């Protein structure tokens, strides 16, 4: 509005910037400056954006992420991308282009809101790597409470600068790719752009230093042809915001009002557990594999689900993780559901695992129960077991009798077993199972048969 | 009542000798009578009368808010006033009605002041004559004073030789000088309050940068703008400053309460004072009359026991150029928001956004404004930034240091002229363009803005033509109280005469005895 001075600095923004800088191993600049970046655009009501071009709040950090490769994705490599800088900025408004009516609608609700821009160095080599690195950044931001970092909701906006070059040669001309509202599209757009540039260069063409938009319907990048050539943003120091001064334990004045100053060391002490530390801790705490830990964090809500189940079940973590990753997650992925949309609650899964653990049911019965639970009809695991008569036979004597009956009824198979035919024992076990209506534990059946046949 | 000081009127209101409504109505009638001065862009009659009514209630209940309760004031039209059109005398903002009050306006209203209206100015406060706004120029009330007219050879009833008020806050100056209100807000970026104050025989005060909030003051040069105060005596300025000063969370450039409020100016021991006279300010263009008065003022201090020494501000000659580079650069930036999209004037051309912007800005801004924007953008281009903007900032620091050195050598206050000459006739003023005039007229005042120091222009005497001449005192940063104390003492010594405005005298509004205001009729 007219007469409003550009931005009074929001303390929470500064704290968020410092914490993010610390989490990304950056050097925090005790003094940073604000500038105006001038350009005319309908979603920029002031005609300039306040940013930190000369001296940002943090610089020279790095982000470490893990890439899982190999068939079973069990080969893990650690990679690093350097953080060039983190700067505080103002957001612009949002433009919605209505090509049909040749008009543009401007939504100014978010104009002036504080933004944090994290600038990465060009160390990433492909779409997948970029997606993993950004995912790690997302998790860090969420752990810090800096941002919910949801790309679809615009809480985390990512622009990709892509260039190609032959090994040993300097970096090529880069294009900036915008309009990426998911990690999947980020990866896709980058890989498309890399290919486009390679093809273009191999055909003798050249790459223009331009901005391109990702068209997610067509799966390609499209030039956003700007009329201006090179923009001169006429940077000027922001006269209404004095230099931002941060303190640490050594430089803090004795009479400083803690409400007025931001203390880097104090914020460092307040840093929560970051994802990399969390993953380590989970491995130690539950005895699970690093790749399990990775998946637990990578899927939104999965860790919480896992931990809820652990709390309510007697089953061992190793068994829980198996069911969470191989069964639950599998089902979720099949139907493209988020963890929060799972029809099977942690409590339900915990109950199921207890039944399994106490050997009340067999593994295969458990799978059946799970599938029933997945239908989300409100029945508990115990109810399903009763309904479908899936309880394991507890009567040992009765089982012995069934085994004996099977032995007696199939002399040919017994002969094969005694002749050390490896498949024969399974056939016999299968027969017993059928007569037991699958209510016997196959391991127990095998044990009884072997004893009876004196193997 | 009109000739009294603010505190006297406030006391009279409290004692019931006069009511806020009576005061308000009187001022409104004078505004109507002096309409030809073109001091006001908007007269907020209904608002003022309502405020007067409420003030009256408070006074009747014995609960006035303070010294400003029931006092008519005016505000320059580059301060946002909620519900009242704020134009900056530009087509760009014609019809613009802000949804909020500038902090300084709010503070005045919170103290019960009556808002008479929004005063005229040079477009977007760019100019030194108050002649370049879209609502026409402001006329200096002294053009119609007995003191001036009786010394002119022109036809007394002709109007073609009226004088400018100076600028850019000429409307506020004229409003106070013509007795339409007791105090007015102006703005001061390079002298825009002090210059018209000198030409209109008023006290024009520029506070230290950071003392008074700029929130709601449409910015010209963020690092130099301050709200300014016009009054008829120094003590009144102190009353107003006491209300306006203080940290504002909405303005990050205001400091955390460095001075004691309320501001009461006590007696001063002149013999303990050291006055500095900057030698570089003695320029050939300075009128001999002003030079003489300046010298007499220095002698006056000396005769009362003060130490008066010559000081040097060696970078003075670079000041105006440096000011222009920094000023136009910030202007270019601050004017970028006027694109017609959300408020203000929007051109009918809608072929494309760019075309609409260009046409809107062409139509909405005067040549003066556009000229400054273009210059500013030139200085901010990547290839020019170092050579112009950065260099000017460096020179600015040297200029600041000049002042610091002068004060550090024991000087309490600097004494300089405010203007090169008395007010000139409009027809003469417009012979040169805005830029030339600004460069000339800001010469004694703009360095102060670059250094962020407090300064005040005090009316001293009438020229041979019968026109006011003012002198400027410059103080240390945040030593506004000391500065005003010196100014108050000086004011008492010089006894500047009251304006003898024909219109007001004819109908008995102002009654003068020996050139001094004695009584005023409120009918």
> What string of pLDDT tens digits covers the 455 residues of chain A?
554 555 567 888 899 999 999 999 999 999 999 999 999 887 888 899 999 999 999 999 999 998 887 766 667 889 999 999 999 998 877 777 777 777 777 777 777 778 899 999 999 999 999 999 999 999 999 999 988 899 988 899 999 999 999 999 999 999 999 889 899 999 999 999 999 999 999 999 999 888 899 998 898 999 886 655 678 999 999 999 889 999 998 888 888 777 778 899 999 999 999 999 999 999 999 999 988 999 999 898 999 999 999 999 999 999 999 999 999 999 999 999 999 999 999 999 999 999 988 888 888 888 989 999 999 888 888 888 888 878 887 778 888 888 888 888 888 888 888 887 778 888 888 888 888 877 777 888 888 888 888 76
A433 touches chain B (CB under 8 A): no
Asked if A4 and B377 come within 8 Å (Cβ–Cβ), the reply is no
On the question of pLDDT at B505 being above 80, the answer is no
Residues on chain A touching B338 (C-beta within 8 angstroms): 47
Asked if A3 and B218 come within 8 Å (Cβ–Cβ), the reply is yes
Asked if B214 and A42 come within 8 Å (Cβ–Cβ), the reply is no
DSSP string, A373-394: HHTT-S--HHHHHHHTT-PPP-
A–B: how many Cβ contacts below 8 A? 97
Count other C-beta atoms under 10 Å from residue B10's C-beta: 21
Residues on chain A touching B396 (C-beta within 8 angstroms): none
DSSP string, B358-421: HHHHHHHS-HHHHHHHHHHHHHHSHHHHIIIIIHHHHHHHHHHHHHHHHHHTT-SEEEEESSSS
B362 touches chain A (CB under 8 A): no
Asked if B223 and A239 come within 8 Å (Cβ–Cβ), the reply is yes
Cα separation, B25 vs B4, in Å, equals 17
Is B475 within 8 Å of B428 (Cβ atoms)? no
C-alpha R_g of chain B: 22
Residues on chain A touching B333 (C-beta within 8 angstroms): 36, 38, 47-48, 234, 236
The residue of chain A nearest to residue B353, with distances taken between CA atoms, is: A42
3-state secondary structure of A53: coil
3-state secondary structure of A66: strand
A9 touches chain B (CB under 8 A): yes
Is A329 within 8 Å of A371 (Cβ atoms)? no
Nearest CB among A5, A46, A240 relative to B336 is that of A46
Nearest CB among B102, B342, B381 relative to A3 is that of B102
B331 touches chain A (CB under 8 A): no
Asked if B342 and A241 come within 8 Å (Cβ–Cβ), the reply is no
Encode pLDDT of B482-491 as tens digits: 999 999 999 9
The DSSP element (H or E) to which A81 belongs, if any, is strand A75-90
To the nearest whole Å, the CA of B512 is away from the closest chain A CA by: 42
Nearest CB among B330, B342, B354 relative to A45 is that of B342
- Give the β-pairing of A158-162 and A175-180: antiparallel
Cα separation, A340 vs A301, in Å, equals 7
- What are chain B's domains? 6-279+400-512 (3.90.1300.10)
- Choose, out of B100, B118, B339, the residue to mutate when testing the contact with A (most A CBs < 10 Å): B339
A48 touches chain B (CB under 8 A): yes
Cα separation, B453 vs B185, in Å, equals 18
What are the φ and ψ backbone dihedral angles of B199, each rounded to 5 degrees? -75, -20
Cα separation, B7 vs B75, in Å, equals 20
Query: Cα separations (Å) of A46 from A230, B309, B335, B336?
Result: 21, 48, 8, 6
Residues on chain B touching A232 (C-beta within 8 angstroms): 381-382
> pLDDT band for position B452 (50/70/90)?
very high
The residue of chain B nearest to residue A38, with distances taken between CA atoms, is: B333
Encode pLDDT of A115-168 as tens digits: 899 999 999 999 999 999 999 999 999 999 988 899 988 899 999 999 999 999
> pLDDT band for position B453 (50/70/90)?
very high
A218 touches chain B (CB under 8 A): no
| Residues in contact with B83: Cβ distance below 8 Å, sequence separation at least 6, in sequence order | B47, B97, B98, B99
Sheet holding A75-90, edge to edge: A27-28, A58-69, A75-90, A114-120
Q: Looking at residues B213-223, what average pLDDT do you find? A: 95
| Residues in contact with B57: Cβ distance below 8 Å, sequence separation at least 6, in sequence order | none
Cα separation, B24 vs B112, in Å, equals 12
Asked if A3 and B382 come within 8 Å (Cβ–Cβ), the reply is no
Which residues of B are catalytically annotated? 76, 168, 192
CB burial of B37-74 (b: ≥16 within 10 Å; e: otherwise) equals: bbbbbbbbeebbbebbeebbebbeeeebbebbbbbbbb
Compute the residue count for chain A: 455
| Residues in contact with B328: Cβ distance below 8 Å, sequence separation at least 6, in sequence order | B372, B373, B375, B376, B379
pLDDT over 70 percentage in chain B = 95
Which residues are bridge partners to A176 per DSSP? Answer: A161, A211
Q: What is the pLDDT of residue B523?
A: 38
- Give the β-pairing of B274-278 and B307-311: parallel
Nearest CB among A38, A42, A242 relative to B252 is that of A242
B134 touches chain A (CB under 8 A): no
> pLDDT band for position B466 (50/70/90)?
very high
Q: What is the pLDDT of residue B519?
A: 47
A5 touches chain B (CB under 8 A): yes
Q: What is the pLDDT of residue A72?
A: 67
Cα separation, A134 vs B420, in Å, equals 64
Which residues are bridge partners to B119 per DSSP? Answer: B40, B76
- Choose, out of B337, B377, B393, the residue to mutate when testing the contact with A (most A CBs < 10 Å): B337
The residue behind tokens 């191989």 is A326
Which residues are bridge partners to B186 per DSSP? Answer: B228
Q: What is the pLDDT of residue B512?
A: 56
- Higher local confidence (pLDDT), B27 or A360: B27
Task: Measure CA of the first residue to CA of the last residue in chain B; give whole Å.
Answer: 12
Q: Looking at residues B334-346, what average pLDDT do you find? A: 83
Asked if B337 and A46 come within 8 Å (Cβ–Cβ), the reply is yes
Q: What is the pLDDT of residue B521?
A: 47
Is B187 within 8 Å of B104 (Cβ atoms)? no
Encode pLDDT of B234-248 as tens digits: 999 999 999 999 999
Cα separation, B232 vs A308, in Å, equals 77
Residues on chain B touching A46 (C-beta within 8 angstroms): 336-337
Report which of B166, B74, B90 is spatially closest to residue B445, judged by C-alpha positions. B166
CB burial of B446-460 (b: ≥16 within 10 Å; e: otherwise) equals: bbbbbbbbbbbbbbb
Chain centre distance of CA B171: 9
To the nearest whole Å, the CA of B103 is away from the closest chain A CA by: 10
Asked if A45 and B337 come within 8 Å (Cβ–Cβ), the reply is yes
């Amino acid at each position: 509005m007219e007469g409003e001075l550009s931005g009074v600095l929001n303390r929470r923004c500064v704290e968020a910037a410092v914490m993010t800088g610390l989490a990304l191993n950056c050097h925090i600049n005790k003094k940073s400056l604000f500038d105006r970046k001038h350009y005319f655009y309908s979603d920029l009501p002031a005609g300039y954006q306040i940013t930190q071009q000369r001296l940002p709040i943090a610089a020279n950090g790095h982000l470490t992420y893990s890439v899982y490769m190999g068939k079973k994705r069990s080969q893990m490599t650690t990679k690093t991308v350097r953080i060039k800088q983190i700067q505080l900025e103002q957001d612009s408004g949002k433009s919605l282009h209505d090509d049909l009516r040749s008009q543009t609608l401007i939504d100014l609700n978010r104009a002036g809101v504080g933004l944090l821009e994290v600038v990465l160095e060009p160390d990433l080599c492909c779409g997948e790597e970029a997606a993993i690195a950004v995912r790690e950044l997302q998790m860090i931001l969420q752990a810090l409470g800096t941002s919910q970092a949801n790309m679809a909701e615009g809480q985390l906006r990512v622009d990709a600068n892509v260039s190609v070059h032959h090994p040993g040669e300097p970096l090529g001309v880069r294009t900036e790719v915008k309009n990426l509202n998911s990690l999947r599209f980020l990866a896709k757009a980058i890989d498309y752009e890399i290919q486009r540039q390679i093809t273009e260069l191999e055909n003798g063409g050249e790459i223009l230093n331009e901005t391109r938009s990702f068209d997610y319907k067509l799966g390609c990048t499209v030039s956003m042809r700007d009329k201006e050539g090179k923009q001169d943003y006429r940077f000027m120091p922001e006269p209404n915001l004095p230099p931002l001064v941060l303190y640490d334990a050594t430089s803090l004045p004795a009479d400083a009002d803690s409400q007025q100053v931001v203390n880097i060391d104090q914020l460092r002490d307040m840093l929560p557990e970051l994802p990399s530390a969390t993953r380590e801790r989970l491995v130690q705490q539950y005895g699970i594999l690093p790749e399990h830990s990775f998946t637990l964090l990578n899927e939104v809500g999965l860790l919480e689900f896992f931990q809820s189940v652990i709390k309510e079940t007697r089953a061992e973590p190793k068994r829980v993780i198996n069911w969470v990753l191989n069964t639950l997650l599998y089902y979720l992925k099949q139907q493209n559901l988020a963890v929060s949309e799972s029809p099977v609650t942690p409590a339900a899964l915990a109950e199921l695992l207890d039944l399994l653990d106490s050997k009340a049911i067999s593994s295969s019965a458990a799978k059946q129960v799970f599938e029933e639970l997945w239908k989300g009809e409100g029945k508990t695991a115990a109810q399903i077991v009763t309904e479908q008569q899936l309880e394991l036979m507890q009567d040992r004597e009765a089982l012995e009798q069934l085994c004996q009956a099977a032995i007696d009824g199939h002399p040919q198979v017994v002969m094969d077993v005694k002749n050390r035919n490896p498949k024969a024992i399974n056939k016999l076990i299968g027969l017993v199972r059928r007569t037991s209506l699958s209510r016997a534990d196959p391991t127990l059946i095998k044990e009884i048969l072997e004893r009876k046949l004196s193997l | 009542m009109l000739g009294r000081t603010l505190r006297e009127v406030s006391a009279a209101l409290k004692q019931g000798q006069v009511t806020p409504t009576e005061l308000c109505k009187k001022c409104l009638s004078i505004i109507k009578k002096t309409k030809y001065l073109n001091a006001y862009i908007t007269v907020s009659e209904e608002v003022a009368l309502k405020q007067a009514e409420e003030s009256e209630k408070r006074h009747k209940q014995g609960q006035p808010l303070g010294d400003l309760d029931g006092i008519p004031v005016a505000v320059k039209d580059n301060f946002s006033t909620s519900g009242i059109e704020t134009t900056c005398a530009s087509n760009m903002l014609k019809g613009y009605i802000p949804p909020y009050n500038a902090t300084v306006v709010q503070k005045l209203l919170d103290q019960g002041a009556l808002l008479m209206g929004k005063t005229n100015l040079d477009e977007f406060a760019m100019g030194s004559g108050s002649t370049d706004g879209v609502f026409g120029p402001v006329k200096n009330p002294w053009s119609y004073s007995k003191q001036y007219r009786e010394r002119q050879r022109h036809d007394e009833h002709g109007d073609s030789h009226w004088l400018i008020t100076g600028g850019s806050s000429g409307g506020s100056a004229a409003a106070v000088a013509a007795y339409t209100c007791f105090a007015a807000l102006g703005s001061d970026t390079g002298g825009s309050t002090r210059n018209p104050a000198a030409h209109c025989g008023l006290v024009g005060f520029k506070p230290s940068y950071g003392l008074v909030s700029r929130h709601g003051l449409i910015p010209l040069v963020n690092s130099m703008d301050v709200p300014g105060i016009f009054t008829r005596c120094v003590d009144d300025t102190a009353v107003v400053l006491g209300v306006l000063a203080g940290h504002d969370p909405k303005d990050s450039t205001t400091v955390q309460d460095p001075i004691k409020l309320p501001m009461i100016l006590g007696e001063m021991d002149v013999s303990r004072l050291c006055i500095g006279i900057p030698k570089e300010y003695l320029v050939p263009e300075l009128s001999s009359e002003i030079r003489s008065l300046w010298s007499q003022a220095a002698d006056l201090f000396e005769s009362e026991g003060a130490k008066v020494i010559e000081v040097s501000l060696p970078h003075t000659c670079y000041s105006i150029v440096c000011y222009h580079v920094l000023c136009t650069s910030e202007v270019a930036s601050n004017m970028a928001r006027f694109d017609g999209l959300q408020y203000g004037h929007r051109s009918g051309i809608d072929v494309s956004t760019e075309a609409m912007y260009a046409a809107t800005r062409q139509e909405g801004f005067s040549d003066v404004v556009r000229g400054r924007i273009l210059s500013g953008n030139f200085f901010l281009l990547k290839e020019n930034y170092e050579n112009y903007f950065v260099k000017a900032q460096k020179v600015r620091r040297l200029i600041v240091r000049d002042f610091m050195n002068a004060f550090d050598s024991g000087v309490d206050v600097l004494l300089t002229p405010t203007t090169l000459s008395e007010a000139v006739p409009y027809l003469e003023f417009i012979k040169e363009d805005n830029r030339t005039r600004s460069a000339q007229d800001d010469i004694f005042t703009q360095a102060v803005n670059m250094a962020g120091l407090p300064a005040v222009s005090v009316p001293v005497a009438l020229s041979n033509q019968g026109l006011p001449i003012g002198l400027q005192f410059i103080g240390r940063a945040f030593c506004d109280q000391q500065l005003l104390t010196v100014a108050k003492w000086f004011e008492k010594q010089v006894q500047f005469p009251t304006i003898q405005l024909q219109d007001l005298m004819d109908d008995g509004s102002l009654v003068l005895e020996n050139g001094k205001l004695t009584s005023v009729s409120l009918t």
